[in-house]
Structure 1
Amino acid sequence: MTSPALNQILFGPPGTGKTFATIEAALEILAPEFLRANKGKRVALKKHFDELAEDGHVEFVTFHQSFSYEDFVEGLRAESGEDGQLHYEVVDGVFKKMCTSAVAKVKHPGALFIKGESFGSGYIVASASTELLSLVKPNGKELPIGMSILHTLAEYVRAGRLTVADVRNKLVFDKVSETKLEPYLINGYNNILPVLVQRILDTSSEDAKVKETTQSSNARVLIIDEINRGNISRIFGELITLIEPSKRAGADEALKVTLPYSKDHFSVPSNVYLIGTMNTADRSLAGLDIALRRRFTFREMPPKPELLKDVTVGELNVGQLLIVMNQRIEMLLDRDHCLGHAYFMPLENEPTLERLGQIFREQVLPLLQEYFFEDWLRIQWVLNDHRKAPENCFIAQALFNSGSLFGDQVVLSNQNNQWMINEDAFARIESFWGVIDHQAVPPKVQEAIEAEKDDIQVRQLESGSIEVLKSGKIVSPSKPILRELAAAHGLTTHHASGLEFNTRHLGAAVISALKGVTV
């Protein structure tokens, strides 16, 4: 079986489930057996993913224009000390923390410190883990000490940089630039530190065996959402070289760099995986940094209308609706600007005309406006509005006389006319059928309530909309003819409050009257 790539990017148009897919991509690395056993069980996969994230195996960040090297690798943070002065401390970023965690040297705590054991002048072990040793001081106060500090000191002693006696001497730490230890020394921890370090040194080599946690079971995954929205060169810095598989720690061409703030020697371990997502339709961004691009593998995430093949609103197939719109977008723009299936997935649980209309009005239409730079004519083409009956068009041009504004000397094309959104169209199933085929007749039109008078036909469709046809052609607007028919049959056209009936109410009244007339 092929091993997952160390660096990969999921790319595609918006709404294709890139962020959604990062969960399975992470589990493919961290728990491949679990993924295979639970394929398609989203709830179980998400739960296991959350558990891994809770344990520190997964981190999630989103790149943006303000995200920096200091957030990603390391930087300086100002803090006010007890003396009221500002002190600057080196703070690790999300990626450096993950790399440090991935190569942390793990020792069995029971072989080093046992709960209840006493050290020095009455320091008692309250608890011990791979991360933290908690002691109770003679005065009853708790004294927490990071295990990484103790291991660092023991390493310095083994390497000959310190002696155990030096451990309590602050001046020695200044020489080795171990500034992270200063808070322990300032707070009087140095009296017990030599004793604890000596325990580590005295522990048998079997119990204190250092295990580099580079196995797949201890892999780490950093998910970077919207990776192309950040300033890549600024965020990664020298790490652009280090993330390359051949330059990782342990590889034949492994490299280390000296970090600018901490002066630490740093390399990227081979069990840290990067998964990025990239929106190909974001026209506000330049192309992804070439140096970074060649160090990642790319997995395309195209729209999957097949996931919607069984989703219908009435008898309108939503998968087919998406296919047709994307075919038009691909011809007018490119495949990077197609519509993702995720926009329509809510219709699986709520297959209603109202929900479909909401998706089009609030998500699809604004996205098309963004794609086409407000070129309404091309948006019309995508929605097939240029071939539909006017009442089924989502967008239309308002008619006005340019001569009244500018005089006869100025001639303007129709393109200059104001474009308007027809809010009523989002509540008509015929509008959506017309996107697929402007000549398509919704299957249930035959079941519509309808009535005829001479060459005039009035019908109320399943959606509740009223259509008036004269000599077989749809009349728009329909209200003037409805008023005439209502007047001819002595029907009231207003509510008791004085408000005029809307088209649906008036049309229903006219249909009832026409059905009662003998022609």
Structure 2
Amino acid sequence: MPSLNQIFFGPPGTGKTYATVEATLQILDQPFLAKNASSRSALKARFDELLAAGDVRFVTFHQSFSYEDFVEGLRATTDEQGQIRYEVVSGVFKSLCESVATELSGKYRAFKVGDRYGTGYKVTRATPDVVEIEKPQGKHLPIGMSLLNTLASYVDAGTFTIEELGNGRWDKKVPGSILDPFLVNGYKNFLPSMVEHMLGKNEEGLFEPAPVQHSDAKVLIIDEINRGNVSRIFGELITLIEPSKRAGAAEALEVTLPYSKERFSIPGNIHLIGTMNTADRSLAALDIALRRRFTFIEVPPNPELLDEVEVDGIAIGELLSVMNQRIAVLLDRDHCLGHAYFMPLKDEPTLARLEGIFREQILPLLQEYFFENWQRIQWVLNDQRKAPENSFLIQPNQDLIALFGDAVTVGQSNERWELNAEAFARVDAYLGVINHELRK
């Protein structure tokens, strides 16, 4: 059984996104994955179907991503009279949890715009997440579907009755940590009739909810999870994502959300899959609280996937392996090059394609890794042992005395380096990365 919370980590280009597709299908459609394991296009097509159906949601963390984007927040809107009002809007994670809660509730009767409840309370907006009620005085009030589903489930189970919901006697039959008495009793003018509508009645006047249709698992993919402020984004939900704290578990917990004041828990069939780039120097270490609640799966470079790829006698798998060995010594293994950069050579094993990969991806990445320390980049490419015409990096001859005069001494750190454009089109330049015996 896959872990509820998992993070795929590794250097760029190792196939972390590819891994999330397979992990998602392992959760949602394992038979399809087993049948089409060797067909990347088929797996991606099935993944896209699940994404379109709402079974998978995708979000990318970044420095501006907030709790309000992820859980819930206030959004300003303007009504027909031009008055500004604020409503609670669910974020991507809460809305996914609410969609599961709605399915698990038995899919009670839905609300429609224009429906009236109590004395003068009218529905002006109805979504899967919220029902907006217009009060007799004209003010608008958003009611979360999670609250309504919870109340309906208690009445359905016989925990308390519609009458007890209306007279406030329900709270003695439900632990105080489940529902907020002030919130529920404050809405008692219309909540009972709304719950009655959700449950429906048969000809004998008895409640007859729709049959329960348990939902399948849902997956939230969080790309670049370590780019955001994880503690701030998850907030109080950081505890609730633990499997033992999920709804229905032995140690299940609920929290009161700060904006809606609703009680909230995370369903046990919500899976979180994150990706993390270990080479990003701008990121701080992940919060220990997050690390404790996730299973971490390394996705390292896999040169073996390129073993059968050869370009004009250049063994691409060996080329990648040798460069990564040098990077691991000069820097660390978190900054190795991923095999995904070279995968296009499987379909187009040409020198021109290899040249484009080195010129547009590999060299710029090495420059970022080594902070313009050109000598170390030269060591990774084995240029120091190649003939000049096969070196990707060269030092142009320059008369420094003519440039600055003899009164100025330029240190080694100020040495100039240039890319040797002609080397990118030479087979020996790439063979020399692997074979140090290849000389003048």
* Band the TM-score falls in, shorter-chain normalisation: 0.7 to 0.9
Q: Is 1:76 the equivalent of 2:83? A: no
Letter in 1 for 2:4: L
Q: How far has the Cα of 1:286 moved from its partner?
A: 0.6
- Which segments of 5 or more consecutive residues in structure 1 lack a partner in the other structure? 114-129, 133-145, 167-174, 442-472, 474-519
Contact 1:221 1:273 in 2 (8 A): yes
Q: How does 1:239-278 map to 2 (within 5 A)?
A: 239-278=237-276
Change (3 A) 1:194 1:408: closer
Q: Which residue of 1 aligns with 2:25?
A: 27
Q: CA RMSD in A?
A: 3.5
Q: How does 1:76-475 map to 2 (within 5 A)?
A: 76-106=74-104, 154=152, 163=163, 177=183, 196-197=197-198, 199-200=200-201, 208-210=210-212, 213=214, 218-440=216-438
For the residue of structure 2 that corresponds to 1:103, the secondary structure is helix
Q: How far has the Cα of 1:53 moved from its partner?
A: 1.7
**Number of residue-to-residue matches in the alignment:** 397
Letter in 2 for 1:199: G
Q: Which residue of 1 aligns with 2:118?
A: none
Distance (Å, rounded) in 1 between the aligned partners of 2:147 and 2:245: 28
Letter in 2 for 1:11: F
Q: Which residue of 1 aligns with 2:135?
A: none
Provide the TM-score with structure 1 as the length reference.
0.69
Q: How far has the Cα of 1:427 moved from its partner?
A: 1.2
Letter in 2 for 1:27: L
Contact 2:378 2:384 in 1 (8 A): yes
Distance (Å, rounded) in 2 between the aligned partners of 1:419 and 1:9: 39
Q: How far has the Cα of 1:405 moved from its partner?
A: 3.3
Letter in 1 for 2:21: I
Provide the TM-score with structure 2 as the length reference.
0.81
Q: How far has the Cα of 1:298 moved from its partner?
A: 0.6
For the residue of structure 2 that corresponds to 1:76, the secondary structure is strand
Distance (Å, rounded) in 2 between the aligned partners of 1:165 and 1:231: 41
Distance (Å, rounded) in 2 between the aligned partners of 1:31 and 1:333: 40
Letter in 2 for 1:12: G
Contact 1:38 1:44 in 2 (8 A): yes
Change (3 A) 1:91 1:225: same
Q: How far has the Cα of 1:278 moved from its partner?
A: 0.3
Q: How far has the Cα of 1:148 moved from its partner?
A: 7.8
Contact 2:98 2:146 in 1 (8 A): no
For the residue of structure 1 that corresponds to 2:258, the secondary structure is coil
Q: How far has the Cα of 1:165 moved from its partner?
A: 12
Q: Per-residue CA shift, 1:203-234, capped at 9, x if unaligned?
A: 867764545x3xxx611110000000001111
Distance (Å, rounded) in 1 between the aligned partners of 2:292 and 2:196: 50
Contact 2:11 2:334 in 1 (8 A): yes
Q: Identity of counterpart residues, as a percentage?
A: 61
Q: How far has the Cα of 1:402 moved from its partner?
A: 2.1
- Which segments of 5 or more consecutive residues in structure 2 lack a partner in the other structure? 111-126, 130-143, 167-180
Distance (Å, rounded) in 2 between the aligned partners of 1:73 and 1:342: 34
For the residue of structure 1 that corresponds to 2:75, the secondary structure is strand
Q: How far has the Cα of 1:389 moved from its partner?
A: 0.9
Change (3 A) 1:45 1:161: same
Contact 1:66 1:230 in 2 (8 A): yes
Q: How far has the Cα of 1:52 moved from its partner?
A: 1.7
Distance (Å, rounded) in 2 between the aligned partners of 1:332 and 1:399: 27
Distance (Å, rounded) in 1 between the aligned partners of 2:148 and 2:291: 40
Q: How far has the Cα of 1:98 moved from its partner?
A: 1.1
Q: How far has the Cα of 1:395 moved from its partner?
A: 1.0
Q: How far has the Cα of 1:177 moved from its partner?
A: 4.3
Distance (Å, rounded) in 2 between the aligned partners of 1:20 and 1:7: 17
| Relative contact order, higher structure (CA 8 A, sep 6+) | 2
Letter in 1 for 2:45: K
Bigger Rg over Cα: 1
Change (3 A) 1:112 1:285: closer
Q: How far has the Cα of 1:328 moved from its partner?
A: 0.5
Letter in 1 for 2:263: H
For the residue of structure 2 that corresponds to 1:83, the secondary structure is coil
Q: How far has the Cα of 1:408 moved from its partner?
A: 2.7
For the residue of structure 2 that corresponds to 1:270, the secondary structure is coil
Change (3 A) 1:429 1:263: same
Contact 2:152 2:195 in 1 (8 A): no
Letter in 2 for 1:427: A
Q: Per-residue CA shift, 1:421-458, capped at 9, x if unaligned?
A: 111111111111111114338xxxxxxxxxxxxxxxxx
Q: How far has the Cα of 1:406 moved from its partner?
A: 3.4
Distance (Å, rounded) in 2 between the aligned partners of 1:279 and 1:156: 45
Q: Which residue of 2 aligns with 1:57?
A: 55
Letter in 2 for 1:437: N
Contact 2:199 2:209 in 1 (8 A): no
